[in-house]
Amino acid sequence: MKKIVSSFIVLILILTTLNLSGVLANPNDQLRDRQDRLTTLQRTLNSVNRLVRQLSTRERGLLAEINTLDNDIERREKDIAHLKSRLEYLEGENQKTEDEIKVINNQIEEITDNINKRLIYLDKINRGGALTLFLQGGHSLTDLSKYIFDFGFILSYDRELLQKNKDQQKELQARKSHLEKILEETATLKEDISLRKEELAKSVARKENLLQQVQSDKEDYSKQAKELQAQIAIETREIQDLLRRLEAERRGRAIGRSGESFIWPLRGRITSPFGVFRRFLGRHIGLDIAAPTGTPIHASRSGEVALAGWRAFYGLMVLVYHGNGVATRYAHLSRISVKVGELVDQGQVIGLVGSTGFSTGPHLHFEIIIDGVHVNPQKYLP
């Protein structure tokens, strides 16, 4: 679409820069040709401006989407940082548990070793005869009984301590298994969030690439719109020059009656005065008078019909030349009642009120043009 519009604009710019004065010797023909080309330019400008507005809307949408994705990425980064801290804490707790298990295992080994030593010793004294050993050593039977009791008590204490340590070992192993499970789940969650963050980053990259393309297209179309506006200004000036040429050729010909003042083309409520600024349309160069469709429109002064037909924005319109560089335009008509070259009298019906062209309702758009400059009609109307 962009290439088609660009090519079309280039073609228009080439055509509108050609000097056709030698081909179109008749000033009226030149004027109509210029008006036709101005219509084409205005229509193209309207299309380009519409594209610029659409691209601006798309640009705002993409910026909002990128902002949302950036916020989502920021939340993901915070989640990852939180999970990283949690993993470090869990790894620390797991290491502490492993260290405690090692201590308990060492204690179990030490207790087991002591029990084994005592059992070996008991076995030795049983083989050698506990009584004989004690008697030879000068111990009494009371000492022997006490020894046997103490030995049994020590073995019983070791067994209880060993069992307690083994229970503690089981508890620590269960705790370690639980911690390892949480570690695994947390690491998996961190990995999932990291993957989501990468996907979001890729989405942002795609959106930013699209945004750059949209902004580039918008810049190109905005530049083309300025070129079209400049060309429209040139065409407008050339139309004004043609009007002045028409005036020079018609000198001595009584198109407008000397001293004749303007009259209202119709009576109605003024809905848009001269000079107000309207969005997308710029400064209003005429006077809008509301009236029902079909209301007769009268020539404000006597003169010759210079243009009659369809023009961009104006819809059906009539341009009447009154001599001495003065012209009036009547736009948005539903029907035209005169022809180009026809002489009209002041007050003669030249068409009917309508809403053609760029219009939001039935009304007459009325202009007074003096030496190519649009003036406020209310200053010249009674």
Taking only the tens place, the pLDDT of each residue in 342-357 is 899 999 999 999 999 8
- H/E element holding 336? strand 326-336
Question: How far from 13 is each of 39, 170, 227, CA to CA, in Å?
Answer: 13, 90, 9
Q: Are residues 203 and 291 in the same domain?
A: no
What is the rounded distance in angstroms from the CA atom of residue 331 to the CA atom of residue 263? Answer: 17
- As for how many domains the chain has, the answer is 2
Contact 287, 366 (CB under 8 A): yes
Q: Quick check: is 264 in a domain? A: no
What CATH code is carried by the domain that includes residue 302? 2.70.70.10
Q: What pLDDT does residue 20 have?
A: 39
Domain boundary among 189, 221, 249: 249
Taking only the tens place, the pLDDT of each residue in 73-129 is 788 888 778 777 777 777 777 787 777 778 777 776 777 777 677 667 665 655 555
Q: Are residues 140 and 233 in the same domain?
A: yes
Q: Domain of residue 371: give its range.
A: 269-379
What CATH code is carried by the domain that includes residue 155? 1.10.287
Taking only the tens place, the pLDDT of each residue in 8-60 is 444 444 444 444 334 344 667 777 777 788 788 888 888 888 888 898 888 88
- Four-residue CA torsion sign, 13, 19, 20, 23: negative
Q: Quick check: is 40 in a domain? A: yes
Contact 79, 200 (CB under 8 A): no
What is the rounded distance in angstroms from the CA atom of residue 353 to the CA atom of residue 207? Answer: 50
Average confidence (pLDDT) over 327-341:
95
Q: Quick check: is 56 in a domain? A: yes
Taking only the tens place, the pLDDT of each residue in 235-250 is 787 777 777 667 656 5
Q: Are residues 161 and 202 in the same domain?
A: yes
Q: Quick check: is 1 in a domain? A: yes
Residue 251 has pLDDT above 60, yes or no: no
What is the overall mean pLDDT for the chain? Answer: 78
Contact 6, 224 (CB under 8 A): yes
Q: Are residues 187 and 49 in the same domain?
A: yes
pTM score: 0.43
Taking only the tens place, the pLDDT of each residue in 168-189 is 778 777 777 877 787 787 778 7
Q: Are residues 324 and 243 in the same domain?
A: no
